[in-house]
Structure 1
Amino acid sequence: MATTIRAVVFDCDGLMFNTEEIFHQATHALLRKRDKVPTPEMFHQMMGRRAEESFQVLIDHNGLDETFESIRDEYFEIFFELIEQHIAPMPGLLDLLDHIESRDLPKGVATSSERSYLQKLLGRFELTDRFHMTLTAEDVTRGKPNPEIYLRAAENLGVEPAEMLVLEDSEAGTRAAAAAGAHIISVPHEHSRHQDFSAARAVAHGLHDPVIWSLLEA
């Protein structure tokens, strides 16, 4: 029986915007000051999680005698300086948003990032009003890969999880959406394509991939 999609939910970082590349650059810069070199395994464990959880991985992995609170401001100063220089929508994002709107389907964002950060990114590209709802780290008690954020997304959009197409770039986000019962399509990029996406219904080669667009034609 064909899947009927009644709503679409996007992750943010690495899925809508090229922020994972910027995150990697900022993390390298932060650790370089401490004579540390990040590893692919560390980035794997950090990706898709809320900031405090993500940076605890960084601290533990590198044996740093610091806390998230003590390095937060330093990191985000580096990160937002890079954002100003390099931020861009991921290829195909704007076309996909246009297509979803042509199908009159509600859409939302469910991100592990903080609301103020999401609002900055959406506002920069005049996308804020194009989403019916947004969920962020402050809206849940348990971050991805826990399914809480996607169960709430379905509730907020008034659909069953199985009727909700979720687009994710990370293993943690994919596992969260799958556990919620959503129709999860993973869209890996350079920094996540090595991760385990076996929980996804399919893996797309970018936001223009027919595996995504075909679900919106029913």
Structure 2
Amino acid sequence: MIKGFIFDFDGTIIDTETAWYYAFREAYQEYGVELTLAHYSTCIGTSLNSFNPYEYLMTDLNLPIDKEEFRIAVQQRHSELMEKEAIRPGILEFLNSAKEANLKLGLASSSSKAWVEKHLELLDIQDYFECIRTSDDVARVKPDPELYVQTLEFLDLAPSDAVAIEDSPNGSKAAAAAGMHCVVIPNELTRYLEFDVPHHKTDSLSSLDFEHVVTRKIFS
């Protein structure tokens, strides 16, 4: 029997990632540059070290752009797009089922603590999670497993006793590297990406039988 679940945040609980891509893509188009999903996907679910969409036009293409104005414009557009977003289907039901079953719940995100806590409060779901680990807590974010390892240790769970809930290839790689089973619920953006580690994939948590997850039937 599974004893706990560890959720990713961005793109998994609420789809912030698709809005970021659209906001950046629109901003790039203003300078005649196409931002492909293949290029942008390298920073989904991880740090901006491999590709920083805020700086690429300036540092790699040498375009004369005011960095701060560009950042503000992208973030404003992201906020506008996020007004249409809500908590993803099945998330609340799954959290409530886990609580009723007395299972442990954690959250492991490559985003900052301030970002995650802000949105958890807006969604009013912060109290579900016994442990929250973010980029503020680790030296390396996903696909490194450190976020999951720390969360497992805090919850006193063995990797085999917990399931990760993810949406991105980097997240699923981190879960696999931590020795965990993983349920992937791709969003509008990540459904086009390649997942190359073992996982169970579904369109939403609403489509899953909770008992089949807890008893590991979906992984057999």
Output the CA distance in 2 between the equivalents of 1:72 and 1:118: 19
Alpha-carbon deviation of 1:32? 2.5
The TM-score with structure 1 as length reference comes to: 0.86
Query: Do the aligned partners of 2:15 and 2:187 also contact (CA within 8 Å) in 1?
Result: no
Q: Secondary structure at the match of 1:200?
A: coil
Unaligned stretches of 5+ residues in structure 2: none
Select between 183-192 and 138-147 the one with higher mean Cα deviation. 183-192
2:52 is matched with which residue?
Answer: 56
Identity of counterpart residues, as a percentage? Answer: 27
Select between 56-65 and 166-175 the one with higher mean Cα deviation. 56-65
Correspondence for 1:99 among 77, 91, 97: 97
Alpha-carbon deviation of 1:19? 1.3
Correspondence for 1:140 among 135, 138, 149: 138
Report Cα offsets for 1:137-182 as digits up to 9, x if no partner.
Answer: 1111111111111111101111111211101110011001100101
* Aligned CA distance change for structure 1 residues 54 and 10 (closer, same or farther; 3 Å): farther
Output the CA distance in 1 between the equivalents of 2:164 and 2:145: 12
2:167 is matched with which residue?
Answer: 169
Output the CA distance in 2 between the equivalents of 1:162 and 1:64: 46
* Aligned CA distance change for structure 1 residues 6 and 61 (closer, same or farther; 3 Å): farther
2:7 is matched with which residue?
Answer: 10
Output the CA distance in 1 between the equivalents of 2:199 and 2:178: 13
Q: What are the residue-to-residue correspondences of 1:169-208 with 2, within 5 Å?
A: 169-208=167-206
Q: Secondary structure at the match of 2:46?
A: coil
Query: Do the aligned partners of 1:185 and 1:212 also contact (CA within 8 Å) in 2?
Result: no
* Aligned CA distance change for structure 1 residues 217 and 91 (closer, same or farther; 3 Å): same
Q: Secondary structure at the match of 2:157?
A: coil
Q: Secondary structure at the match of 1:98?
A: helix
Unaligned stretches of 5+ residues in structure 1: none
Query: Do the aligned partners of 1:6 and 1:105 also contact (CA within 8 Å) in 2?
Result: yes
Q: What letter corresponds to residue 33 of structure 1 in structure 2?
A: E
Output the CA distance in 2 between the equivalents of 1:103 and 1:119: 25
Output the CA distance in 2 between the equivalents of 1:35 and 1:201: 38
Select between 110-119 and 58-67 the one with higher mean Cα deviation. 58-67
| Alignment pair present for 1:75 and 2:74 | yes
Alpha-carbon deviation of 1:49? 0.9
**Superposed CA RMSD:** 2.4
| Alignment pair present for 1:46 and 2:43 | yes
